[in-house]
Amino acid sequence: MSEYRLAEKPALDALVAMGWQALSPADALAMRQEENRVILKPVLVEALRDLNGIGLNDAEAIYADLATRSDNEQWQKDLRGNYSRRLEGAKQDQAITLIDFKQPGRNRYHVVRQFRIAAQRPRIADIVLFVNGIPLVVIEAKSPLKTTAKAEEAFEQIKQYERDIPRLFASNAFNIVTDGIATLYGATGASSQFYAPWPDAWPRTPADFPDDLNKDLWCLCEPSRLLDLLAHFIVFETDPETGRKIKKVCRYQQFRAVNKATDRVAEGEHRKGLIWHTQGSGKSLTMVFLALKLKTHLTLEAANLANPNILVLTDRIDLARLIHEPAALGYFGFGGSVAA
């Protein structure tokens, strides 16, 4: 009971206050139709019809296709606008929008608590966030009064979910663990050592929020910020030694630096800029995220970003491979590398 009162309910209240519509577990189940499904079907179908101007049969066929997809990286590409399908009566495939990044108000945002999924080992996620009926964030809440190592317990719970109900994490952007006081987030599949706080509320300040929980959830889950994170701040890298696919989500300093730099380029008022980093702060990945946002700019309209050219010089990782032949504008110095 203390877990709900001290962590889960405050988190729900904060999410509802920033625009997430709460659904009861029963209402969510009715939309899923079966406990082993995770997409809110009527929400997705309605969003598909609204965003793409398509008929009911096509929207339901798209739902059926998406419901079978299990690869997280492919889901990431689909959500960013790379999904296409041949519609009824058409002779070729048509690009299908799953999320409207430039007009966040056109999307549907739902939050569901105690989200039970049937499986060989059924699991109940504390809180799940959906955009257009697609589950994107899983939040595990633990009571701050527990004497056990509550953070490790929450991480282990997330790992159990990922192992036992993987379908919930096929489209997942990232996960959050919170005890109502401290909040950490990490990429899908990440171990506990890679979960981190988000201390900087830029462009707002901590004084704008009643407590740290409201600040942290706003930083990570406010709808327009979540869409920005989804669109530009998640990448996949293959470990050359093990061949294992690693998913990476930005840290707060990378988010701030990239958005400041992108805004300056989009405004066209400054031709040069400098980003200062400390050792281990993720200099190379900052440039990956910057090039990705300059190249795709899914969340903003800017004439200066219509057809950018990007030059990447690095003495570290293969940035060009990570961002798939990117392009850049402006000049930004950092560490031992330059994007110009």
Interval 147-187: pLDDT, tens: 455 567 788 899 999 999 999 999 999 999 999 999 999 99
List C-alpha distances in Å: 20 to 10, 109, 114, 221, 283. Answer: 14, 5, 16, 9, 33
For residues 29 and 117, what is the distance between their CA atoms, to the nearest angstrom? 9
Q: Which DSSP category does 82 fall into?
A: I
What pLDDT is attached to residue 239?
84
Pair of tokens at residue 295: 């190249």
* pLDDT exceeds cutoff 50 at 190: yes
What pLDDT is attached to residue 315?
64
Number of Cα atoms under 13 Å in the Cβ half of residue 82: 9
Percent of the chain at pLDDT > 90 equals 70
Nearest in space to 32 (alpha carbons), one of 115, 143, 145: 115
Q: Which residues contact 69 (CB under 8 A, 6 or more apart)?
A: 75, 78, 170, 171
Dihedral sign for Cα 170, 174, 178, 180, please. negative
Nearest in space to 171 (alpha carbons), one of 80, 297, 286: 80
Q: Considering only 22-26, 55-59, 319-323, 333-337, which range has the smallest mean pLDDT?
A: 333-337
Higher confidence at residue 335 or residue 115? 115
Percent of the chain at pLDDT > 70 equals 89
List C-alpha distances in Å: 205 to 202, 215, 253, 315. Answer: 6, 9, 14, 35
Amino acid present at 295: K
What pLDDT is attached to residue 332?
37
For residues 36 and 204, what is the distance between their CA atoms, to the nearest angstrom? 40
For residues 260 and 270, what is the distance between their CA atoms, to the nearest angstrom? 12
What pLDDT is attached to residue 136?
98
What pLDDT is attached to residue 335?
36
Query: Rounded to 5 degrees, what angle do the CA atoms 17, 297, 72 make?
Result: 70
Pair of tokens at residue 247: 């998913």
Q: What is the arithmetic mean of pLDDT over 322-336?
A: 39
pTM greater than 0.85? yes
* pLDDT exceeds cutoff 60 at 272: yes
Nearest in space to 165 (alpha carbons), one of 42, 35, 57, 259: 35
Q: Residue 25: is the preceding peptide bond cis (ω within 30°)?
A: no
Q: What is the arithmetic mean of pLDDT over 94-119?
A: 97
Q: Which residues contact 88 (CB under 8 A, 6 or more apart)?
A: 55, 57, 58
- Pair type for strands 273-274 and 245-249: unpaired
Average pLDDT, the chain: 88
Q: Contact at 8 Å (CB) between 18 and 218? A: yes
- Residue 282: pLDDT band (50, 70, 90) is confident
Q: What is the arithmetic mean of pLDDT over 306-321?
A: 67
Tens digit of each residue's pLDDT (9 = 90 or more) over 213-257: 999 999 999 999 999 999 999 999 988 888 889 999 999 999 999
